[in-house]
Amino acid sequence: MNTRQAIDNSSSPVSLSAAFNQDNTCFSVGLNSGFCVFNSDPCELRVARDFNAGIGLVEMLGRANYIALVGGGKQPKFPQNKVLMVIIWDDAKQKPVITLEFRSPIYRVRLSRTRIVVTLCNSIHVYAFSSPPEKLSVFETADNPFGLCCLGSRLLAFPGRTPGQVQLVEIGRGNVSIIPAHSAALRALDLSRDGEILATASETGTLIRIWSTTNCSRIAELRRGVDPAAIFSLAISPSNTLLATTSDKSTLHIFDLPHPHNVSRPEATIANRQQPPTKGSPASGSTDEVNSQKWGILGKIPLLPRVFSDVYSFTSAHFEIGDEGPLPGQSGRSSMLTAALSMGALGGRAPKGVVGWLTDDTLVVIGAGRDGRWEKFVLVEGEDRKRVCVRHGWRRYLGDS
């Protein structure tokens, strides 16, 4: 019989959320006592604000100039009963400057210099970044419990009304395009920095599809694996030549990407492209290297199952998921508050495996929870002249700060 008292860690810092800013130079963390902002490399504390109350969701504009805050945790900051609030915090003035109210759980907030985009379970709300804020449009979506939404300088991407579809909206002009991306519901999205490429993954988690936003054509299909997996994150590199993805398999995969301008037909495989190396990137993969991925010569034998000919990642690495328990404050709460506290994470679990590219050969993976982690990975040339992904450092950003 175990008679030892349980360890009381209620006063320990808990990371409720973790998200990068637009260029991945910083990441913000929601805490049960306020929020923090860290530099991405090296992982150093930049800003810490103690509200003596929980912040369940934090999204930055720039390097913590303006910050979107949503209450969460055991004792949430801001009202969390009938009305849920998004607060735009001016960190220079140390005060809220914009307040938005909703009666449905808030799963994600995206910011730009001109727009505030709020993701609810079945809708996307777009506001002008002004005081008072002006509501510009509302779009209906299929169930979106992961808060999927990408905001670029000219495009907004989010789930369509039918599961598996993506809506692309031209900011300012309002033109809407529909991409039938997957047959199953969406699990992850990412829009390249120049807005040219969209990456999508479904709840099945075996295939990642790459789309040209210019004509909504599919330009590549990448296979993460054969077994289903929960995709945590998709991230396109700054030059649009690489894609990183993480999943609940605790594996980081990195793929080569074609660019729409280098694809001669609407749907192409990476094996058919010829692209010069990117300046500053190590050992860019040749066509021969891509053709030899995973199954090698088997991929050229006709009539074999398509998994032998699919395009796989050219390298992979293990990352630490850490604890996967529910977020604090989940039990005994109303369904509305429980959903709000989940911040788009299934079952109210802390987000894990969030990827941010620093350069075309360096990326960082962060995760929330009691075991909030930061890990840095670098692409290097191996002994056989093939690119490999190597972990160059890690830390528990809450415990060490």
Ordered structural domains, the chain, with CATH: 15-396 (2.130.10.10)
Is residue 214 within 8 A of residue 191, CB to CB? The reply is no
How does residue 272 score in pLDDT terms, banded at 50, 70 and 90? very low
Q: For residues 306 and 114, give the distance between their C-alpha atoms in angstroms, rounded to a whole number.
A: 45
Is the pLDDT reported for residue 163 higher than 80? yes
Average pLDDT in the 145-161 region? 97
Q: What rounded mean pLDDT belongs to the chain?
A: 84
Rounded to a whole number of angstroms, the distance between the first and last alpha carbons of the chain is 38
Residue with tokens 């009666």: 103
pLDDT digits (tens, 9 = 90+) for 77-131: 987 677 899 999 999 999 999 999 999 999 999 999 999 999 999 999 999 999 9
Which residues are CB-neighbours of 148 under 8 A, at least 6 positions away?
Answer: 108, 119, 158, 159, 186, 187, 188, 189, 344
The owner of tokens 């053709």 is 291
The position carrying tokens 């809506």 is 167
Give the list of residues 6+ apart from residue 128 with CB closer than 8 angstroms, or none. 114, 115, 116, 134, 136
* pLDDT surpassing 80 at residue 367: yes
Nearest CA to 15 among 329, 369, 365?
Answer: 369
With a pLDDT cut of 70, the percent of the chain lying above it is 78
pLDDT at 266 over 60: no
